[in-house]
């Protein structure tokens, strides 16, 4: 096609005009679903991350354009585009971190679970590629329903014999980002100075903000607790309704995913004290997957931190969250094994 000829010409020109340079030190990162509402701004933010030396952009549409565009940014990472299933393996080979925002988003009136039928298959295929081409990569799953897509990914990796629970992380950072923003508003604090642990999962009542553990320590009225809990749990729906059919959170999500990916990369580099909330294989509750604070390091999740003391309201919330989570996990595992 004309566009692939153009890409080839550009590649030849680049080859003849560029002085050979050694690859910059840093990590190799792939974004799968890079042309999407999240994928594009996330790719832009990863291109700005000084820890990234190579950035692979994969999607089933539009990656030549997105790649050409982002590759003009004068930051360190070398950007390459990959289009369609036949190029998935090249996109994945050698990657240290794979971020997955591929899949359809919600429209008003839908739950995240309504996305299962389409997104489950997409995540399964992409994870089969990861197992084959970069089995040691850290994987950040954004595609919804996260409560089920992470168990699907785990089953795919188990079947391939490559599963390491330390390297599979569901991205729940947007819940923490929202919680910090909304709590900051209520307390009159800069949201950057607020840290709210959000545990459980990433859908409705499974999103459990631990308002009794906010840093800096503070107290809320019962009205504030009920307002904040509901606003945090329904943050995604708030955006879906405001976008009125044009999709769900993309920009705040790209910010959150880039923040979480940066934490994973700093962990891989060996930085100490990197703690983020994430939905992972866990023994914190009786459920096989649960979101909580984790310490990130060279091997991915190095420690799953305990939940800490919960108040009565949070204990009741935890019971509700566990009921729905158990079903979503079961649904994912059953899909991957059918």
- Quick one: DSSP state of residue 125? H
Token look-up 């096989």 returns: 288
Partners of 290 in the β-ladder: 280
Contact 332, 152 (CB under 8 A): yes
Question: Among residues 33, 151, 204, 317, which is the contact residue for ligand NAD, using CB under 6 A?
Answer: 33
- In the residue annotation, 330 being an active-site residue is answered as no
Q: How many residues of this chain bind ligand NAD (CB under 6 A)?
A: 33
Query: CA–CA separation, 124 vs 238, rounded Å?
Result: 29
The number of beta carbons lying within 10 Å of the beta carbon of residue 238 is 12
Residue in the shown chain whose Cβ atom is closest to ligand LMR? 236
Among ligand LMR, ligand NAD, none, the one that 197 touches (CB under a kind-dependent 5 to 8 A) is: none
Distances (CA, A) of 190 to 182, 186, 219, 265: 10, 10, 17, 26
**Is there a binding annotation on residue 95?**
no
Q: If binding is defined by CB under 6 A, does position 101 make contact with ligand NAD? A: yes
**Is there a binding annotation on residue 245?**
no
Furthest C-alpha separation in the chain = 67
Question: Among residues 27, 41, 59, 140, which is the contact residue for ligand NAD, using CB under 6 A?
Answer: 59
Q: If binding is defined by CB under 6 A, does position 28 make contact with ligand NAD? A: no
Query: CA–CA separation, 180 vs 24, rounded Å?
Result: 35
Question: Among residues 37, 200, 204, 300, which is the contact residue for ligand NAD, using CB under 6 A?
Answer: 37
Handedness of CA 125, 138, 232, 315 (dihedral sign): positive
**Is there a binding annotation on residue 48?**
no
* Closest separation in Å from C-beta 103 to ligand NAD: 4
Q: If binding is defined by CB under 6 A, does position 103 make contact with ligand NAD? A: yes
**Is there a binding annotation on residue 37?**
yes
* Closest separation in Å from C-beta 203 to ligand LMR: 7
Binding residues for ligand NAD, per CB under 6 A? Answer: 32-33, 35-39, 59-61, 101-106, 115, 119, 122, 125-126, 142-144, 146, 171, 174, 202, 247-250, 253
């Amino acid at each position: 096609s004309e566009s692939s000829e153009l890409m080839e010409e550009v590649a030849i020109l680049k080859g003849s005009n560029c002085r050979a340079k050694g690859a910059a030190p840093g990590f190799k990162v792939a974004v799968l679903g890079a042309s999407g509402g999240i994928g594009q701004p996330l790719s832009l933010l990863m291109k700005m991350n000084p820890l990234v030396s190579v950035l692979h952009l994969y999607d089933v549409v539009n990656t030549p354009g997105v790649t050409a565009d982002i590759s003009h940014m004068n930051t360190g990472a070398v950007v390459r585009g990959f289009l369609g299933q036949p190029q998935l393996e090249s996109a994945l080979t050698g990657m240290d971190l794979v971020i997955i925002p591929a899949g359809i988003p919600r429209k008003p009136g839908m739950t995240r679970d309504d996305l299962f039928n389409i997104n489950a298959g997409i995540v399964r295929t992409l994870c089969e590629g990861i197992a084959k081409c970069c089995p040691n990569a850290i994987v950040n799953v954004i595609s919804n329903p996260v409560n089920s897509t992470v168990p699907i990914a785990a089953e795919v990796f188990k079947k391939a014999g490559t599963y390491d629970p330390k390297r599979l992380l569901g991205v729940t950072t947007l819940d923490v980002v929202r919680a910090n923003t909304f709590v900051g508003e209520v307390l009159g604090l800069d949201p950057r100075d607020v840290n709210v642990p959000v545990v459980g999962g990433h859908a409705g009542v499974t999103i459990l903000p631990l308002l009794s553990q906010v840093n800096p320590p503070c107290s809320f009225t019962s009205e504030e607790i009920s307002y904040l809990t509901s606003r945090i749990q329904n943050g995604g729906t708030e955006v879906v309704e405001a976008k009125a059919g044009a999709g769900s959170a993309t920009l705040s999500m790209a910010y959150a995913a880039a923040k979480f990916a940066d934490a994973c990369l700093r962990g891989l580099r060996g930085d100490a004290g990197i703690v983020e909330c994430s939905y992972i294989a866990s023994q914190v509750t009786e459920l096989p997957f649960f979101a909580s604070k984790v310490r990130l390091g060279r091997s991915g999740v190095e420690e799953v931190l305990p939940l800490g003391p919960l108040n009565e309201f949070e204990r009741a919330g935890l019971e509700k969250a566990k009921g729905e989570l158990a079903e979503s996990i079961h649904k994912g595992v059953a899909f991957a094994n059918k």
